[in-house]
């Protein structure tokens, strides 16, 4: 019996037929990442049903030196949940663990298994008049564990922070199968290093998140959604500051997109129309929220914010959604940018952040630079201006072939963009993580002190190098020095 065979037999014995399979039909759907950039191979697919089973399975993998690729909804943007092509790893899916362990609406805390899907979480807490203040396009597949492991962002970060800010406690299985149990619903706890913070955003390289306690907020009572036409991204930045100053805590969202993005979306969605007449170089989508009693206050606030913005010449034009349906239609325009751009042709997508104060300058400087250096391309930035995080996409010249262009000119473009981001004091990954897609760029551009710290922490917590090797940490697989 080969090693692999004995591992498979032991895994089946431990997890049962439902918990471990090598059936290619069942395994294959989970071997390719959501964006279709990577396809790997695996020894099998493990789907444990409890934290105890995860722990025992990790111990088994450690004994057999089988690398583990943890996976939630398989909707990550950086290939972090896809095994490599060696076929030596096992995919550990958390999807079977999707229970809500404890939910007390009065304390606004919920404890759930890692495999719970974001949309199911939303629906469960909304039924109690609460909300979980993080949402993103992949909410129908993204799991709580995946969101934690990647410290996910989305469109509500401006007001509520990333996933890290929502997590009160976690439970995780470490590389030796020990269970790190930190589901304490304590708001204040200064008993030493905050170890959960190390696991959040570590993409499964330090431990496998099995459960979490999350904070909840009261449901939004009233909202006002405004579509704004602006002359420039610099004007959008001015409007953002103005909104922050005037609307304060009521400001829930502030997204921007250039005219080109809106045109792509309108071409992509046959029934959609532009919220504003006339041409505007840039657009902003602004959302203000309040409690159910604050309808009047919100109307006054919108009036105050935009009347003074118009007066100060910050905006060209603005329209308030007059119904919830129209508000949703405005948001749909924003949420359709990615698929609309994809329909046009190949593009290099860069999820970057720079200091908020320099974002307008970045877009205005680097877009023409890229278009000059790589003739025929088109550079556009859109997204979370309020977070200093934009999605900077460079569309291929007309006629470019997807895979081929991406691997040649596309790669050079990305390197150029990341160089410039680094020069602007920014991050080459604002919210999508590093995974495999940016690992080498992190090695190239990262601060050597930080990289060395990451490597030594990785070696300490995962001495055998079995937790998601090849991802995030610029280390050769199995802990060898690169």
What pairing do the DSSP bridges indicate for beta strands 90-93 and 44-46? parallel
Q: Residue 143 in contact with residue 72, Cβ under 8 Å?
A: yes
DSSP letters of 428-467?
Answer: S-SSS--TTTTHHHHHHHS-HHHHHHHHHHHHHH-TT--B
For a copy of itself, give the closer residue by CB, 396 or 475: 475
32, exposed or middle or buried, with CB in 10 Å at 0-12, 13-18, 19+?
middle
Residue 376 binding a copy of itself, by CB under 8 A: no
Q: How far apart are CA 298 and CA 312, in angstroms?
A: 21
For a copy of itself, give the closer residue by CB, 36 or 192: 192
For a copy of itself, give the closer residue by CB, 124 or 455: 455
Scan residues 194-213 and list those touching a copy of itself (CB under 8 A). 194-195, 197-198, 200-202, 206
Scan residues 216-255 and list those touching a copy of itself (CB under 8 A). 218, 241, 244-245, 248-249
Closest contact distance (angstroms) between CB of 226 and a copy of itself is: 20
Candidates 138-146, 255-263, 272-280, 455-463; binding stretch for a copy of itself (CB under 8 A): 455-463
Q: How far apart are CA 83 and CA 361, in angstroms?
A: 39
| Binder among 146, 410, 426, 470 for a copy of itself (CB under 8 A) | 426
Closest contact distance (angstroms) between CB of 273 and a copy of itself is: 32
Candidates 139-147, 150-158, 370-378, 397-405; binding stretch for a copy of itself (CB under 8 A): 150-158
Other beta carbons within 10 Å of 73? 23
Q: How far apart are CA 26 and CA 184, in angstroms?
A: 36
For a copy of itself, give the closer residue by CB, 401 or 456: 456
Scan residues 156-195 and list those touching a copy of itself (CB under 8 A). 157, 162, 164-165, 174, 178-182, 184-195
For a copy of itself, give the closer residue by CB, 48 or 386: 386
Closest contact distance (angstroms) between CB of 420 and a copy of itself is: 15
For a copy of itself, give the closer residue by CB, 263 or 456: 456
The phi and psi torsions of 33 (rounded to 5 degrees) equal: -75, 165
96, exposed or middle or buried, with CB in 10 Å at 0-12, 13-18, 19+?
middle
Candidates 111-119, 318-326, 369-377, 449-457; binding stretch for a copy of itself (CB under 8 A): 449-457
Closest contact distance (angstroms) between CB of 409 and a copy of itself is: 25
Question: Which region holds residue 192: left if phi is over 0, alpha if psi is between -120 and 50, else beta?
Answer: left
Candidates 57-65, 91-99, 117-125, 145-153; binding stretch for a copy of itself (CB under 8 A): 145-153
Residue 473 binding a copy of itself, by CB under 8 A: yes
Closest contact distance (angstroms) between CB of 359 and a copy of itself is: 11
For a copy of itself, give the closer residue by CB, 68 or 247: 247
Scan residues 13-32 and list those touching a copy of itself (CB under 8 A). none
Torsion of CA 298, 302, 303, 307, to 10 degrees: 160
Q: How far apart are CA 267 and CA 466, in angstroms?
A: 47
Contacts of 446 (CB under 8 A, 6+ apart): 474
């Amino acid at each position: 019996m080969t090693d692999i065979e004995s591992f498979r037999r032991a895994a089946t014995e431990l997890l049962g037929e439902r918990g471990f399979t090598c059936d290619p039909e069942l395994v294959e759907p989970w071997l390719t990442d959501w964006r279709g950039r990577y396809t790997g191979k695996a020894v099998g697919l493990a789907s444990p049903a409890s934290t105890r089973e995860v722990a025992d399975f990790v111990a088994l993998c450690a004994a057999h030196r089988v690398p583990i690729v943890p996976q939630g909804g398989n909707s990550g943007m950086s290939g972090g949940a896809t095994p490599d092509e060696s076929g030596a790893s096992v995919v550990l899916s958390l999807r079977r663990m999707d229970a809500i362990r404890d939910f007390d609406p009065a304390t606004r805390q919920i404890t759930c298994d890692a495999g719970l899907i974001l949309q199911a979480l939303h629906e469960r807490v909304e039924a109690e008049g609460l909300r979980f203040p993080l949402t993103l396009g992949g909410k129908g597949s993204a799991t709580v564990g995946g969101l934690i492991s990647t410290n996910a962002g989305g469109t509500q970060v401006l007001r509520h922070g990333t996933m890290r800010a929502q997590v009160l406690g976690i439970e995780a299985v470490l590389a030796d199968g020990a269970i790190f149990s930190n589901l304490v619903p304590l708001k204040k706890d200064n008993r030493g290093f905050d170890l959960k913070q190390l696991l959040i955003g570590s993409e499964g390289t330090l431990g496998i998140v099995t459960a979490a306690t999350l904070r909840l907020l009261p449901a939004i009572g009233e909202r006002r959604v405004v579509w704004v036409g602006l002359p420039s991204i610099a004007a959008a930045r001015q409007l953002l500051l103005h909104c922050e100053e005037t609307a304060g805590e009521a400001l829930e969202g502030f997204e921007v997109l250039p005219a080109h993005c809106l045109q792509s979306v309108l071409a992509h969605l046959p029934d959609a129309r532009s919220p504003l007449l006339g041409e505007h170089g840039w657009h902003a989508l602004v959302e203000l929220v309040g409690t159910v009693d604050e309808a009047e206050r919100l109307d006054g606030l919108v009036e105050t914010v935009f009347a003074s913005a118009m007066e100060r010449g910050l905006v060209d034009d603005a329209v308030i959604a007059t119904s919830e349906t129209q508000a949703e239609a405005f948001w749909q325009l924003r949420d359709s940018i990615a698929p609309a751009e994809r329909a046009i042709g190949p593009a290099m997508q860069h999820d970057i952040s720079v200091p908020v104060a320099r974002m307008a300058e970045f877009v205005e400087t680097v877009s023409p630079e890229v278009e000059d250096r790589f003739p025929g391309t088109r550079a556009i930035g859109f997204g979370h201006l309020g977070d200093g995080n934009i999605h900077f996409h460079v569309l291929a010249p007309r006629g470019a072939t997807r895979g081929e262009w991406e691997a040649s000119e596309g790669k050079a473009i990305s390197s150029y963009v990341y160089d410039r981001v680094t020069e602007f004091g920014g991050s080459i990954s604002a919210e999508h993580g590093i995974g495999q897609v940016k690992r080498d760029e992190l090695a190239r551009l990262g601060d050597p002190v930080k990289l060395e710290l990451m490597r030594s922490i990785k070696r300490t917590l995962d001495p055998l190098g079995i937790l998601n090797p090849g991802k995030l940490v610029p280390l050769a697989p199995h802990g060898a020095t690169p």
